[in-house]
Amino acid sequence: MARKTGDIKFSKRGEALIGQEMFRLLDLSRNLEREGKHIYHLELGEPKNYKGAKNYPPGRVINKTIISLLNCDVGYTSSKGLPSLRQKLALYFSENFAKQIKTENIVISTANMLIYQVLDIICETNDRVILFTPAFPSYIASCRYIGATIHQVPLSIDDGFCLTKNNIDKAFSVKPKVIFVNSGNNPTGAVYDQETLKYLLEQAIEHDSWVVSDETYGMLSYQKEYFSMINLEYKKLVVISSFSKVFNIPGYRIGYAIADPIVIDKISLSSSTLYSSLPIFTQEGILDGISIIDNFAKDRKKYYKKLSNECMKILDKSNYLFYVRPESAFYLFIDIRKLKIDDKLFCSRLLEEYRTVVTPGTSFGYEGFIRASFCGNIDDVKKGLRQIVLFAKLLGGKENI
Amino acid sequence: MARKTGDIKFSKRGEALIGQEMFRLLDLSRNLEREGKHIYHLELGEPKNYKGAKNYPPGRVINKTIISLLNCDVGYTSSKGLPSLRQKLALYFSENFAKQIKTENIVISTANMLIYQVLDIICETNDRVILFTPAFPSYIASCRYIGATIHQVPLSIDDGFCLTKNNIDKAFSVKPKVIFVNSGNNPTGAVYDQETLKYLLEQAIEHDSWVVSDETYGMLSYQKEYFSMINLEYKKLVVISSFSKVFNIPGYRIGYAIADPIVIDKISLSSSTLYSSLPIFTQEGILDGISIIDNFAKDRKKYYKKLSNECMKILDKSNYLFYVRPESAFYLFIDIRKLKIDDKLFCSRLLEEYRTVVTPGTSFGYEGFIRASFCGNIDDVKKGLRQIVLFAKLLGGKENI
C-alpha cells in the first residue's frame, strides 16, 4: 500500500536504533510496580543505597556538588570538561600509571556516550568491529546504530570467560578497524591479565587497528590485580572509563576518555555538536572525590567480594545453574543452557511469574545465559536469586519428567 | 605520501564535525583569562548571576535538586525522562495550549542533543533541510554532521528578520525533508506571528515535510505575544524546548520534545543508545519549578526588556552599527556591513584588541553581522558593547579617511 501523507518513516540510522534492553526492562518493571506489584530488580548495574545495600556515594562528592549548586554554578563549561577536573585526573593517572598523562590527553563525557562518540568518529558504515562476547549491550547498540559490521569472537565459560591469545588471533584475522576490550568485564566479571592485553596491543599495532578499552569496572577488581591499558603506548588506543560504578553515582553521567590529543579534540568537537557541555556542579563534585577514590574503591571491593560470595552460595543450591566466579564488580553471568529454554523467554517468564528482572544473555550477544546484577537492594538481590533458583528447579524438574 | 601505521584518520562523519563556535571562543577566551586578562563575555547565551546580573535560577529548582541529592537520587531513570516530570509537563501544556498533550507525547533530553537526535532519526545523507538564516549554529553543525544538505533561506533585516510567506514558499520550493523554525529567534530575537506559522504548517502538510520548531526562547517573548506551534496538529511536527534559558540554568542540560508518540519512542531509543538516561536530581529540581514557571518567565521578560533598551542605547551611539529591536530573549544581532570587514576577522580583532568576545554572523550562516549576548555579567555586557562601538568607530573612521 502506498504511504499516505503524514505517515512517519524513519531514517536507516533511526531504524537501526536498538537502545539498551536493561532500560526497556526497567520501564516495563516500573509499570508493574505502579500496579502495586513488588519487583526484584537485578537488571541494571545501578548501585543502590537503601534496604541494606551500602552503596552510598562518597559524602564529599555529594557535598561538593551541593556547594557548587548553592554557588549557582549552573552555567556552561568547556566541551572538553571542567579544566580543573581534567588537570586533577592527569595528575592522578600520571602518579598511578607507567606513562605520563597530560590534561590534553583527557576529555570528560558520559562513558556510554563515549562508546558511541569514539566509534562514530572512527568508523564508516560496514567497517569491521570486534566484540569479544558476551559484550556490554551498548557496544552492540552503537555498532548497529552507526552501521558498523560486528564480528563476534565468543569467549568460553571453560576459560572462565578470560581473553586468550587464540581469541585475539581470531579477532585480528578479520582485519578489524576497531577492537573493543572490556577488562573488568560486564557481564562476566572477568579481569584479563597483563600479558594478554600487551599481546592484544602488539597485534593491534601490527594490524593498524584501533583499540577501545572500556575500563569502567577496572577499579572494582577484587580477585586479581587490575592491569589498565593506560599503561600502554599506542596512538590508536582509547581508554574509556566512568565514575558511575566506583562512586555509586550512575545518575551523574560522568566519565572520561584518555587518548591522543588529536582524538581528544575530535571527541570534544563531537560533544560540542551533540550536547555543548556537561554540568559544572556534577564535575565539581567528582573533582573533590578524586583524592579519596583509591580508598573508596578499596572499600567497595571488599563489599562486593563478600556479597559475591553470598550470592554464589544461593546459586550453588541449584543443579541447573552454572557461573564463573566474578573477579570484579557486581554481575553474575549465569549459564541456563541445561534448562533448554530461550534466555529471553526465561527472562520474560521470570518477570511475569517470579517478579524478578534480569537481563537475557542475548542482549550481550551470548545466548543461553542471563545476567544478574547484585549491586541493588540486597534483600531484592537475594530474593531475586532465590526466585531464579526456584524457576530453574521448576523448568529443570519438568525437563526430567 | 603513504600513511604510516598508527596515523590517525577519522570517519567522514568525524571529519564533518564542526562543533559550536561559541564554545571554541569560550575556550580561547578562558585561556586569555588564565593569563590574567579581563575579558568581556558576550559570546554565550548563558544567563549569569553575578556582578549586577540578576539571572538567578529559581530557588526552589536549586533547593529541590539539593534535596534530591541529599536523598541520594543518584541512580538511573527512564530514558524517556523522569515519569513525574513528563506527567507534570503534559498537564501544564494541556492547560496552556489549544490541544491535549499526553505524557506519551513528551520526552526529556538535552535540547541541543534533541536537534541532533530528531534530525538523525528522520534524515538520510543528502536529504534537504531548510534553515531560515541567520540560524542557531547547532542546526548547521547537526546537518553537516549527519550529511544532510542545508538549503538556506535568508531572512532580511528589512523585514525585521521576521519569517514571511514569501520565505516559506521559497523554502518549500526545494521539497525539503525537514524545515527548522525558531521563533523566539536566536540570534535575531524575532518572534513570528500566528498566521505565518499556521501557513508554514499548512505548507508542510501539503509537501509532507517534517517541521522542527525550536521554542527555547518562546517563554521569553517580551514585545509580542508568543504563539507556540504546540497549538497546531501535525504528525510530523516536533517541538523542541529547554529549561536552560527560562530558568537561568543552562548547565542543567535539560530540555524536552513534544511530538507524536511514535517519534517520542524513537527519540527515547536514541537516548537509551547514546546516554542511557539523564540525572534524576536535575529533573526533580525542574519538576518542582514547573508550578512557578509562568511567574518566573514574567519577571525574566521584564528584566530583559529593560536591559535590551539599555543595550540598544549604547549601540545607538554608533553611526556604523545597525540592529533590529529584539522581541524576545537576550541577543542583539548587529549589522557591521558598513564597516566592510569580514565578521570573523572583526570578532578575532575585537577579542585581541578590545578583549571582547562576540560570535560572528558566519556561524549563523549570515555574513556581515555579529551576535552579542546580553545575559551575562551586566558590567561586562555594557563595557563590551562600548568596546564594539569604539572598534566600529576606529574601523569606520579609517574607512572615511
Flag whether residue A59 sits within 8 Å of chain B, measured between CB atoms: no
Pair type for strands A255-258 and A106-109: antiparallel
Three-state DSSP class for residue B47: coil
Q: Is the separation of the CB atoms in B248 and A245 below 8 Å?
A: no
Q: What is the pLDDT of residues A46-78, one digit of tens each?
A: 887 765 667 899 999 999 999 999 999 999 999
Quote the pLDDT of residue B400: 47
Q: Rounded to an integer, what distance in angstroms lies between the CA atom of residue B35 and that of residue B355?
A: 13
List pLDDT tens digits, range A229-265: 999 999 999 999 999 999 999 999 999 999 999 999 9
What does DSSP assign to residue B48?
-
Answer whether residue B52 shows pLDDT above 80. no
State the smallest CA–CA distance between residue A178 and chain B in angstroms.
Answer: 12
Nearest to B280 among A112, A208, A251 (CB): A251
Cβ pair A251:B73 closer than 8 A: yes
Select the residue from A5, A9, A17 to test the B interface by mutation, using most B Cβ atoms within 10 A. A17
Model confidence over A123-174: pLDDT tens digits?
999 999 999 999 999 999 999 999 999 999 999 999 999 999 999 999 999 9
Distance from CA of B18 to the nearest CA of A (A): 6
B113, A77: Cβ pair inside 8 Å? Answer: no
Instruction: Using a CB–CB cutoff of 8 Å, tell me whether A114 touches chain B.
Output: no
**Interfacial A residues in 202-231 facing B (CB < 8 Å):** 205, 208
Query: Are the C-beta atoms of residues A245 and A217 closer than 8 Å to each other?
Result: yes
> Chain B: nearest CA to A192, how far in angstroms?
24
Mutate to test the interface with A, among B7, B11, B67 (most CBs of A within 10 A): B11
C-alpha cell at A307: 556479597
Whether A142 and B74 lie within 8 Å, measured CB to CB: no
User: Does residue B20 belong to the interface with chain A, where contact is any CB pair within 8 Å?
Assistant: yes
* Letter string b/e over residues B215-246, b meaning 16 or more CB atoms within 10 A of that residue's CB: bbbbbbbbeeebbbbbbbebebbbbbbbbbbb
Q: What is the pLDDT of residues A98-127, one digit of tens each?
A: 899 999 999 999 999 999 999 999 999 999
Question: Which H/E stretch holds residue A317?
Answer: none
Best CA proximity match to A285, nearest among B70, B56, B31, B245: B70
Residue B3 — pLDDT band, cuts 50, 70, 90?
low
Q: How far is B395 from chain A (nearest CA, A)?
A: 32
Q: What is the average per-residue pLDDT within B158-174?
A: 97
Nearest-by-Cβ selection for A75 from B11, B77, B251: B251
pLDDT in the model for residue A157:
97
Helix, strand, coil % (nearest 5) of chain A? 50, 15, 40
**Contact A273/B20, CB-based, under 8 Å?**
yes
Query: What CA–CA distance (Å, rounded) separates B204 from B225?
Result: 24
- Measured N-to-C along each axis, helices A137-146 and B261-275 cross at an angle, to the nearest 10 degrees, of 120
Is some CB atom of chain B closer than 8 A to the CB atom of A35? no
What is the percentage of chain B residues whose pLDDT exceeds 70? 97
**Where does the pLDDT of residue B401 fall: very low under 50, low under 70, confident under 90, or very high at 90 and above?**
very low
Q: Which ipTM value was assigned to this complex?
A: 0.95
Q: Say what the pLDDT of residue B21 is.
A: 81
How many interface pairs between A and B have CB atoms less than 8 angstroms apart? 235
pLDDT-based confidence at A401, cuts 50/70/90?
very low
The verdict on whether omega for the bond into residue B57 sits within 30 degrees of 0, i.e. cis, is no
pLDDT tens per residue across span B376-390: 888 899 999 999 999
Query: Distance from A318 to chain B by nearest Cα, in Å?
Result: 32
Mean pLDDT of B287-304: 97
pLDDT at residue A28, as a whole number? 84
pLDDT in the model for residue B318: 97
**Residue B113 binned pLDDT confidence (cut-offs 50, 70, 90):** very high
Grid cell of A227 as nine digits: 592491569
Q: Is B308 on the interface with A (CB under 8 A)?
A: no
Does the structure show a pLDDT above 60 at B1?
A: no
Q: Which amino acid is at A176?
A: P
Return mean pLDDT, chain B.
94
- Candidates B114, B359, B330; CA nearest to B242 is B114
pLDDT digits (tens, 9 = 90+) for A341-363: 999 999 999 999 999 999 999 99
**pLDDT of amino acid B5:** 64
* Residue A55: predicted pLDDT: 86
**Amino acid residing at B72:** C
Mutation site, A206, A211, A273, A282, interface B, largest B CB count within 10 A: A273
> How far apart are alpha carbons A111 and A139 in whole angstroms?
12
Chain-chain contact of A8 with B120 (C-beta, under 8 angstroms): no
Q: Which residues neighbour B96 within 8 Å (Cβ) at sequence distance 6 or greater?
A: none
How many Cβ atoms from other residues are within 10 Å of residue A28's Cβ?
15
Our CA-based measurement puts residue A266 at a distance from the nearest CA of chain B, in whole angstroms, of 7
The residue of chain A with its CA nearest to that of B146 is: A13
> Which A-chain residues 127-146 have CB contacts (< 8 A) with chain B?
127, 138, 141-142, 145-146
Instruction: State the sign of the Cα–Cα–Cα–Cα dihedral A205, A208, A209, A214.
Output: positive
Distance between CA atoms of residues A352 and B40, nearest Å: 61
Q: Which of A18, A32, A19 is nearest to A357 (CA)?
A: A32
Q: What is the pLDDT of residues B169-184, one digit of tens each?
A: 999 999 999 999 999 9
Q: Nearest residue of B to residue A69 by CA position? A: B62
Question: What residues of chain A lie within 8 A of the CB of B26, using their CB?
Answer: 76, 78
Q: How many CB atoms lie within 10 A of CB A52?
A: 12
Q: Is the dihedral of CA A318, A319, A320, A326 positive or negative?
A: positive
Structural contact between residues B19 and A107, judged by C-beta atoms closer than 8 angstroms = no
A141: nearest CB among B50, B145, B273: B273
What's the whole-number mean pLDDT along residues A10-36?
87
Interface of B with A in 313-332 (CB under 8 A): none
Q: pLDDT-derived band of residue B31, with 50, 70 and 90 as boundaries?
A: confident
Identify the pLDDT of residue B46.
86
Find the mean pLDDT for residues A165-189.
98
Indicate which of A79, A276, A283 best probes the interface with B, i.e. most B CBs within 10 Å of its own CB: A276
| B residues 79-98 closer than 8 Å to A (CB) | 79-80, 83
Render pLDDT for B69-84 as a digit per residue (tens, 0 to 9). Answer: 999 999 999 999 999 9
Under DSSP, the state recorded for A290 is G
Whether A221 shows a pLDDT value over 60: the answer reads yes
Mean pLDDT (whole number) for B326-352: 96
Taking the C-alpha atoms of residue A316 and residue B208, their distance in angstroms, rounded to an integer, is 60
Q: Are strands B255-258 and B106-109 parallel, antiparallel or unpaired?
A: antiparallel
User: Which residues of chain A are within 8 Å of residue B5 when distances are taken between CB atoms?
Assistant: 205, 208
pLDDT of residue A400: 47
What is the pLDDT, as a whole number, of residue A335?
98
- What is the full DSSP assignment across B230-261? GGS--TTEEEEEESTTTTT-GGG--EEEE--H
